[in-house]
Structure 1
Amino acid sequence: MYLLGLDIGTSSIKVSVVDVDTQKRVATAQYPEEEVEIKSLKSGWAEQSPVDWWQNAVHAILQLNATGIFNPKDIKAIGIAYQMHGLVIVDKEQNVLRDSIIWCDSRAVDLGAQAFDAIGHDKCLQEMLNSPGNFTASKLAWVKNNEPEIYSQTDKVMLPGDFIAMKFTGKITTSIASLSEGVFWNFDKDEVSKEVMEHYGIDQKLIPDIKPLFSIHGSLKADVAALLGLQQGIPVSYKSGDQPNNALSLNVLKPGEVAATAGTSGVIYGVSNELTYDPESRVNTFAHVTYAKEQKHTGVLLCINGTGSMYRWAKHNFAPHLSYAALNDLAATAPIGSKGLKVLPFGNGAERMLNNKYTGAQLLGIDLNLHKQAEIFRAVQEGIAFAFRYGLDIMRENGMQPKVIRAGMANLFLSEVFAQTFVDVTGVPVELYENDGSVGAALGAGIGAGIFESPEAAFTQHELIRYLEPKNSEAYEPIYAEWKSLLNKAL
């Protein structure tokens, strides 16, 4: 018996099949091989086509089936993880009305700030746990204000994973966790926020049916089953934003447990049993995958927009013909501190942890006679690790004190330089595991379909790959202080 998991990422679609008995991945595929472009029609804008997501998902699943490692008819449930905070709107015929305004788009920052003031800072933070910011509700308000013809045709508002589930099943659903990601949810009253909806003038009819996150969100349509070689009627039984799902994939389910990821964006995500919030909304609190009205588990999320995107930019512009593995090896030949070269990796939209300010990415202290490729790529990885430290210190201010951080052996954590620098700069040991978002989504599908009796039962065979402890914290502390001083000047 198998489970299918999809990770609808910004760069590509990754899919995996997991064996229920071993809880291990048996096959995986990714499409496309090259990173998907982010459309930026204006500075600070970021859009992608939901139709392209679906087509890429189809390609990835067909590639997966072509491995011949498993029988697609033995897949019993589908789970979906997706890039958070994106806006997808469809009409009554489920046609997409415009490209998705995705997570790193900054156009709604001012609208969110106005809503924060109008609704009241204390009310927003105490009841929604966040400022409306540039989250999904504010993105929808931007469409309403600037594209009224499109808004008038809107029948339902979705996040990216809801759209992919709709394509599988023809049904449109959401969950408390998804609504909280969009700052549509009032945690104090446990309902859709009337304050946000009324301030923006949004009709609550646009919100889909609310279902438990682990539940049947629809059954696979006959035509889609035929297209993909799957069994008609199997359920889509799990949908989660990528960061709560990453935490699930790492068995981060209990209060006090913390996960990290360093993909296109960088995230530290800690589970809490309190309705906590940052007074400046620099880190954000959403409903965790295990949130329930009787057990209010939340996820405190630090997001850095410019992590993998910063490294990708450096690769494409300084060493386009080298692989990421070769770049990591090259970075390891440079010394700690990159001979004084510093990088601020904040060039992918307004950063919430910087109070929604945009500094642009910066390469500072260049010595034309001293710095070469090795120093550039080490400085980029160090700059990203410093950004994580800056954000973790904000989380610490808000009561999150991780004793260990779990991460998947993927993306920047594949780099020895980055992984060790992360540990040295934060001062927190890291456990590395094999699971990734697509595996987490597959295991989530097993939980939602009742194949596993509980979330904990899906991780009885979870295995640690590596454990990293701080080695060079003293050496990095003054270097980090210099970096932080440069950031403060940029702000």
Structure 2
Amino acid sequence: MYYIGYDLGSSSVKAALIDAKTGRSVGVTNYPEKEMAIIAVETGWAEQDPEAWWKNIAKVTEKLLAQTSISSNKIKGIGISYQMHGLVVVDKAGKSLRPSIIWCDSRAVSIGNDAFTGVGEDKCVSNLLNSPGNFTLSKLKWVKENEPELYEKIDKLLLPGDYIALKLTGEATTTISGLSEGIMWDFNQNKPADWLFDYMGISTDLIPTIVPTFSDQGRVTKSAAEEIGLPAGIPVLYRAGDQPNNALSLNAFHPGEIAATGGTSGVVYAITDSTVTNESSRINNFAHVNYTIDKPRIGKLLCINGAGIQYSWMKQNVVSTEDSYNDMNNLAGSVPVGSEGLRILPFGNGAERMLNNKNEGASIFNLNFNKHNKSHLLRASLEGIAFSFVYGIEILKNDGVNISAIRAGNDNLFRSEIFSNTIATLVNTNINIMDTTGAIGAARAAGVSTGDFDTLNDAFSENEHVMTYHPLKDKKAYTDTYEIWKNDLENKYNN
């Protein structure tokens, strides 16, 4: 028997099958191969059609079953991971009323900022562990203000993963973790933040039924089964946003454990048991997948927009078109630590929350035309991105995180020895690189709900360990260079 996991991103849907006995992956694929369209009617807007997500769920299921030659009748449960912070609104029939306002849409920034001031910053920080920000509830307030006739037809507000679960089961449900990512959960009162809904003029009746993250969340209906090719009656067993799910996939559940990703943007997601924050304006705090009222597990999320996109820019504009990322890493390795004085701030991909939403672009310092070449630019690029991760981890430490372990997926940035060694050395913590995906994690999590895996650790003990980066003994060159880079950063963004 097998579990299937879906990972709904903004570019594609990934799907994985895992063996219910061993937890081993037997197949992973994605659909579509060409990125899903993002609708931008106005500058700063970003929308997607929820029905397109559902159609792609059907396509990726068909593709995965054909690829693995596994009968759908052997699938015993479903796990769902999804792009966070999006808004889907549906009517009483469960039909979406408008395109989803997704995670990277910025239209509700001012609404969230006004609410932060209007209800009181202290109350937001102590109860929500966040400012209302440009998150799901603020987006719904935008719909209320700008599309009142449509708003009156809304029966439930959903996150993207909630919508997929609705399409599968016919039941509108959500989770505490999901409500926290939409900044709708009050951690002090252990219930939805009705006072914030009241301030926004939104009825809490729009909140769907709350179900545990690991639980039988409904069964696949006959009509859904006909559409996607899975047997009717199998349960949806797990649901979580992509960053909590990524941490789950990397076996990060306990205080002090960090899950990191180094894609176009970078993410540091740290687990803590504290429901207090000092850094609510620079990081976000969400209920982790194993959060309970008795044993709170909070994921402190720090996002760095200007991460891998900078190294990608170097690939497109600095090196030869034939050069691979591995070739670039080798060129960077020919230059000593510190890039002979060349330094780069990588923040050129929009406003950076950890820099208090400053958006002043990337910067190059101390470029010497008689000394520096493309190898120096590549090393300074990798060092600058690594330094931004270290700077972010310092913010997390200031917010009470005591680091015990860092785990990361086997992506381009973490394959670079320069990048990973720099972080490991400056943070003085091993970095374990694991070969897994969000879809595999969601599938394994489904097995936790049924008891096929006794504990979360059992479910993820079969992750393939790729390698470990250890802190280097000779740290002086790294610490000296980082302090100069940090001085550049604070002089630029604090003035």
Fold shared by both chains (TM-score > 0.5):
yes
2-structure distance, mates of 1:470, 1:328? 19
| Compared CA separation, residues 376 and 226, structure 1 to 2 (3 A) | farther
The equivalent residue for 1:297 is 297
Displacement, 1:315?
A: 4.1
- Check whether the contact 1:278–1:284 (CA below 8 A) recurs between aligned residues: no
| Compared CA separation, residues 50 and 477, structure 1 to 2 (3 A) | farther
The equivalent residue for 2:476 is 474
Please tell me whether residue 156 in structure 1 is matched to residue 156 in structure 2.
Answer: yes
- Check whether the contact 1:104–1:348 (CA below 8 A) recurs between aligned residues: no
Residue 67 of structure 2: SS of its match in structure 1?
A: coil
| Compared CA separation, residues 459 and 121, structure 1 to 2 (3 A) | same
2-structure distance, mates of 1:253, 1:106? 31
Q: What is the letter of the counterpart of residue 77 of structure 2?
A: A
Name whichever of 128-137 and 342-351 sits farther off: 342-351
2-structure distance, mates of 1:145, 1:290? 36
Gaps of 5+ in 2: none
User: What does the per-residue CA deviation read over 1:98-153, in whole Å, with 9 as the maximum and x for residues that have no partner?
Assistant: 33333233332222222111111111111111111222112222222233343333
- Check whether the contact 2:307–2:385 (CA below 8 A) recurs between aligned residues: yes
1-structure distance, mates of 2:463, 2:413? 21
Query: TM-score, normalized by length of structure 1?
Result: 0.91
Gaps of 5+ in 1: none
1-structure distance, mates of 2:105, 2:57? 23
Displacement, 1:326?
A: 4.8
The equivalent residue for 2:97 is 97
| Compared CA separation, residues 165 and 44, structure 1 to 2 (3 A) | same
2-structure distance, mates of 1:55, 1:292? 34
Q: What is the letter of the counterpart of residue 179 of structure 2?
A: L
Displacement, 1:462?
A: 4.3
User: What does the per-residue CA deviation read over 1:150-190, in whole Å, with 9 as the maximum and x for residues that have no partner?
Assistant: 33332221212112222322222101110011110011111
| Compared CA separation, residues 14 and 366, structure 1 to 2 (3 A) | farther
The equivalent residue for 2:436 is 435
Name whichever of 114-123 and 184-193 sits farther off: 114-123
| Compared CA separation, residues 10 and 423, structure 1 to 2 (3 A) | farther
Residue 448 of structure 2: SS of its match in structure 1?
A: helix
User: What does the per-residue CA deviation read over 1:4-28, in whole Å, with 9 as the maximum and x for residues that have no partner?
Assistant: 1112223332211111222111111
Displacement, 1:489?
A: 4.0
The equivalent residue for 1:449 is 450
Residue 16 of structure 2: SS of its match in structure 1?
A: strand
| Compared CA separation, residues 383 and 168, structure 1 to 2 (3 A) | farther
2-structure distance, mates of 1:109, 1:416? 38
2-structure distance, mates of 1:56, 1:328? 36
Displacement, 1:379?
A: 3.5
Equivalent residue runs for 1:74-473 within 5 Å? 74-316=74-316, 323-362=324-363, 373-471=374-472, 473=475
Name whichever of 44-53 and 269-278 sits farther off: 44-53
1-structure distance, mates of 2:40, 2:488? 28
Residue 477 of structure 1: SS of its match in structure 2?
A: helix
2-structure distance, mates of 1:376, 1:32? 35
- Check whether the contact 2:284–2:300 (CA below 8 A) recurs between aligned residues: yes
User: What does the per-residue CA deviation read over 1:359-412, in whole Å, with 9 as the maximum and x for residues that have no partner?
Assistant: 334455555676555444444333222211111111111121213211222343
2-structure distance, mates of 1:75, 1:54? 19
Q: What is the letter of the counterpart of residue 467 of structure 1?
A: T
Q: What is the letter of the counterpart of residue 384 of structure 1?
A: I
- Check whether the contact 2:129–2:280 (CA below 8 A) recurs between aligned residues: no
2-structure distance, mates of 1:169, 1:275? 33
Identity across matched positions, percent? 47
Residue 239 of structure 2: SS of its match in structure 1?
A: strand
| Compared CA separation, residues 71 and 403, structure 1 to 2 (3 A) | same
2-structure distance, mates of 1:371, 1:149? 60
Displacement, 1:222?
A: 2.6
- Check whether the contact 2:58–2:229 (CA below 8 A) recurs between aligned residues: no
Name whichever of 407-416 and 340-349 sits farther off: 340-349
Instruction: Count residues in correspondence.
Output: 491
1-structure distance, mates of 2:297, 2:173? 21
2-structure distance, mates of 1:228, 1:147? 33
2-structure distance, mates of 1:383, 1:147? 43
User: What does the per-residue CA deviation read over 1:294-325, in whole Å, with 9 as the maximum and x for residues that have no partner?
Assistant: 22222222222333444445545556665545
